[in-house]
Amino acid sequence: MAPAVAAFQLSASQKETLAALCDTFIPSLNDAETTEVVRSHLSMAAGENKDLSTVEAETVAFCRLSASQMGVPEAVEATLRSHVPPDAAAELGLLLSAMSSRVGMLAIGGVPQTFASLDRPGREAVLDGLAKSMFAAKRKIFMTLRSLIVLKAFSGGGGMANWSLLGYAGPEPPERVAATRQAAGRTEHIFQMLNSSITADTSLDFDAVVIGSGCGGAVAAAELACAGHRVLVLEKGKYFSLSEMSGVEGEALDQLYERGGLVSTEDTGLAVLAGGTFGGGSAINWACCLRTPDYVRQEWATEHGLKRFATDEFGDALDAICKRINVTSTGISHNRNNELFIDGCQKAGYEVEDAPQNMADVSPGAPGAGFICAGDRYEIKQSMTVTFLRDAAAARVPAQFADRCKVSEVTHSKGVATGVRATIIGSDGQPHQLTIRARVVVVACGSINSPALLLRSRLPNKNGLIGKNLRLHPVSIVTAKVPAGAPDVVSWEGAPMTAVSNECARGPFGDNYGCKLECPSIHAGLGATGVAGLSKPGKHFKQEVLNLRRLTSIIVLVRDKDSGEVRLDKNGEPRLYYNLSEHDQASMLDGLEKAIRIAAASGVEAVGTTQTALGALRTLPPMSMVEARAAAVDGLVADVRRVGFPLYSVTLISAHQMGTCKMGSSAQTSVVNADGQNWEVSGLFVSDASVFPTSSGSNPMLTTLGIAHMVAQQIKRQLQPSSRL
């Protein structure tokens, strides 16, 4: 259940300013601008099998359409009300108020006029000044507004009318999805929620209560339930049946992601994507299944005293996990984005290999493969709802489940865990207090919410390490455009991330804290947001976003050596703090250089990064001009290294959060022991990526599942068979 959010309502002047901002980033173009954009787009479409008169009409309509006409201001306000913490929403409200006054605009934009009263060139000049300001606070304003406005404009709602022109087909209708699922023999399991029996404050008894239904919690629940223990799984997010998911990107962000996909670090604005629904991160992650690298296992064994990671025990756990979620390395097909990546790696002389997948269908054009990040309506991915949660529900003593249940604290007495206190939405739609008494408490809320829960639970925390050691695998992106006439990339089609390069894994310092290079899946909303970072607001943005289907992307995923922190705010909610260290910046620059060279080797016509100072994609000489092209690539690489990563001047993302309840061999240097049990409270276990001693250096799903499997064996040894069996 999401925390209660104070009513948020913009005033008339704030709404006017917000609408003006939206219509500056995405304006209705004038005749001359429209003619220029139409001419450019028609020249690109001329060689395609399309009715050019229809393309022209659609392009004109797109040029004339403003953000206000698409309903973007209302969508932004609704997001502030639903997903943004009250203090952050209030801060944005103050900004809108300041931009609604002449005095405020003099301070913010250097002009003594309200933002809405300026003409469009004047408004664009103000935004350009914010983007290039020497003050990080002003750059933060620009990046926050741009990302939120463009995302809401193209991820759903009124922006869906533009999808066809962008070459984005969007999700299939539910009846076709259901038919595909039926033809493949996939049968949905409908989970029954305890909420339906709750009409008042309630107390219940279980052998084990598992908090969180993601990878760690699902494995714990399945292992314990199948061993005959009475298990209750509590999930703060909502359970959605397949028919309740639309596959629309914006709706998926609102429903399935933590805080609507708008979590970011408080001090640096690094965007953090995490699952926030039944099934946790497995409900929205990609299907890339990489085992924990051997050098990481050795590091955890030798430097952190966790010997089992270097033994067959952990290897056997990974084997068992891979078997259950159907990980395969054979017959993997690649979409166009991954094909270009593989081709570029091979031509550049860089290492590249197929990435194993936990997909039921890895063939070319597998239905639904490109939409697994928006809720797996096809059940093509072997996520937790298809595997371990289903196992728990089908156990001899079936596990029970509750959604929209926010656990406020773990209860404990004299160093022993006794259960949890929570607030649950009952069958009457009202919140009720839920008290669970249990012999074992398994915290599996993920690396953001697990430390927050432990901090709220007032554990002794004598070493002060709960919430510390936050690792994020920070990601930067290299984007490139294929030449006109080349096959479209359409990176949202087909399975994402089916190839990986470890060319940079050793890192510039040779310490195995380097980076991986992979390919993302980018749908219309996030894709348009990326384009906005490579273009100026207005005409240039509209012209470039029409090339979305021609864009190929490579992510640089850094194994961060240094760390941040999760802290509680005044409402007891987690806030993230993280700064990209000099060491990790060097690793990212190394990866960006190689990603640029890979893209160039694949034959793209233009390439760039998300660094604001570099602006639009850099056009390269044709492949036939070998020396000139090489010199242009070298020049871009030099500029990337020169610019670096000024605060709020580059887009950085995290989809992997780790380490905030660190596992170790000493109570002085860690939060839990090698069995996942808290050093200070017996019977309290942590079973998710928060126990990682360091960042894993690979997509962390398999590592999380493997650790959860090992932790569950210890819990089973500690729990005697239920006396009620």
Active site residues: 656
Q: Helices marked H in 46-101 — which ranges?
A: 52-64, 72-82, 86-99
For tokens 């084990």, the residue is 208
Query: What one-character-per-residue DSSP string does 637-704 give?
Result: HHHHHHH---TTSB--EES--B-TT-B-S-TTT-SB-TTSBBSSSBTEEE-SGGG-SS--SS-THHHH
269 within 8 A of 485, measured Cβ to Cβ: no
In the chain the first and final C-alpha atoms are separated, in Å, by 32
Q: Where are the extended beta strands (E) located within 241-323? A: 263-264, 271-272
For the record, the structure tokens of 21 come out as 């901002």
One-letter amino acid of 626: V
Q: What is the torsional sign of CA 232, 238, 243, 247?
A: negative
Residue 420's nearest CA partner among 151, 235, 176 is: 235
Is the Cα torsion angle 315, 320, 325, 329 positive or negative in sign? positive
Cα 221 to Cα 209: distance, rounded to the nearest angstrom: 9
Angle between helix 120-131 and helix 102-109 axes, rounded to 10 deg: 50
Nearest to 290 by CA among 694, 702, 689: 702
Residue whose entry in the numeric block shows the structure tokens 């009300």: 81
Report which of 218, 167, 171 is spatially closest to residue 401, judged by C-alpha positions. 218
What is the torsional sign of CA 622, 627, 630, 634? negative
Report the distance separating Cα 147 and Cα 135, nearest Å. 19
Q: How many CA atoms lie within 13 A of 518 on its CB side?
A: 26
* Torsion angles phi and psi, residue 237, rounded to 5: -80, 180
Number of C-beta neighbours around residue 190 at 10 A: 10
**Beta pairing partners, 619:** 606
Is 553:522 a contact under the CB 8 Å cutoff?
yes
- Report the C-alpha gap between 372 and 445 in whole angstroms: 21
Contact indicator for 139, 509 with CB cutoff of 8 Å: no
Which pairing describes strands 416-425 and 515-518: parallel, antiparallel, or unpaired?
A: unpaired
Q: What type of residue sits at position 316? A: D
